[in-house]
Amino acid sequence: MVPIRKARIGPKIEGKIEKIYADEGDYVKEGAPLLKLDQSTYLIVKGEAEAGLNTAKARYTKAEVDLENSAKDYKRLNALYQKGAVAEREFDTIYTRQKTAEADMKLAAAQVREAEERLHMASQNLQDTIVTAPYSGFVVEKQMEEAEVSNVITWQWTVLVLEDISSIKVECPVSENEIRFMQKGKEVEIHVDAFPDEIFMGTITQINSKVDERSRSFIIKIEIPNRDFKLKSGMFARVRIPKERKESILYFPINALLIKGDENIAFTVEDGAAKLHKLIVGISDGRVTEVVEGLTEGDVVIVEGFTP
């Protein structure tokens, strides 16, 4: 048996582990904090990013004012230049100043966007120092301890392993001769050694289309609801899959069936005496068998004491 979901949990960024909030065996809910890294370096970086953004915004404001003033001067001198009242050299100077102001404005705007991205990244890194559970489940492994350094580069980053066992999956090989009886959505019985007196019901969710060349079998996957978490990952399971299933059928105990050659025979009690019936039988689950013809509902069947 395997969990419906399993994840290795660790931070996206490097840092010293300050606190681990869960231990092996703990059940955690989705969104609950699992671990926290030391934030001191990331707080400094965020503070520098905020200061950088404020500086960039100040440059932008200055460039905006300079562009506004140069635009006014350019408009005024251009009108005079068209009338021949301003020398060409003076006009060229104000024209150059206008273009420079426009370029400075574009640069300042770009610097603001860059500073905003730096602040966004710094804020995201600070947020990533706290790792939360991606879904509800049980912590099954704890691979690092507090004060150790998590490093994604060296792959020393898995702190906890989380399993969701609200449903359990079972992988089961099925002979190629039996694959025609398998369909997605078909209900099957699951028997678990840990609970010998219970039968769990599962559903076929996947049928692998490739046959194993050595075993001549297909792998099917079965999902079992496990809301009370009784079933655990790693438990051994036996699967019982009915080839056919019929509703509202007439059936009787298999040990009451006598087989003589090609005939299926059963005995009933009528007026205090045994009466022989030749039967046509259908599907069986090993305990009871379907009676297609030969008996009617209510017949009293003899289950022991008869001989061939």
**Consecutive sets of 10 residues in the chain, 308 residues long: mean pLDDT of each?**
94 94 97 97 97 97 93 84 80 88 95 97 97 97 94 82 96 84 88 91 90 84 94 90 71 84 86 85 79 85 70
Which residues does 161 contact at the CB level (< 8 Å), separation at least 6?
6, 7, 8, 9, 139, 140, 141, 142, 143
pLDDT value at position 241?
A: 81
**What's the length of the chain?**
308
Quick check: 270 and 264 in contact, CB under 8 A?
no
CA dist., res. 69 & res. 100, Å (int): 12
Instruction: Give the global pTM.
Output: 0.69
| Residue 59 to residue 105: CA distance in whole angstroms | 9
Give Cα separations from 274 to 159, 258, 261, 270, 305 (angstroms). Answer: 73, 14, 21, 6, 11
pLDDT of residue 145: 94
pLDDT of res. 78? 81
Predicted local confidence at residue 181, as pLDDT: 80
What's the pLDDT score for residue 130?
97
- pLDDT at residue 94, rounded to an integer: 86
pLDDT value of residue 212 = 80
pLDDT of residue 247: 65
The confidence score (pLDDT) of residue 90 equals 85
Question: So what's the pLDDT on residue 308?
Answer: 54
Specify whether the CB–CB gap between 89 and 99 falls below 8 A.
no
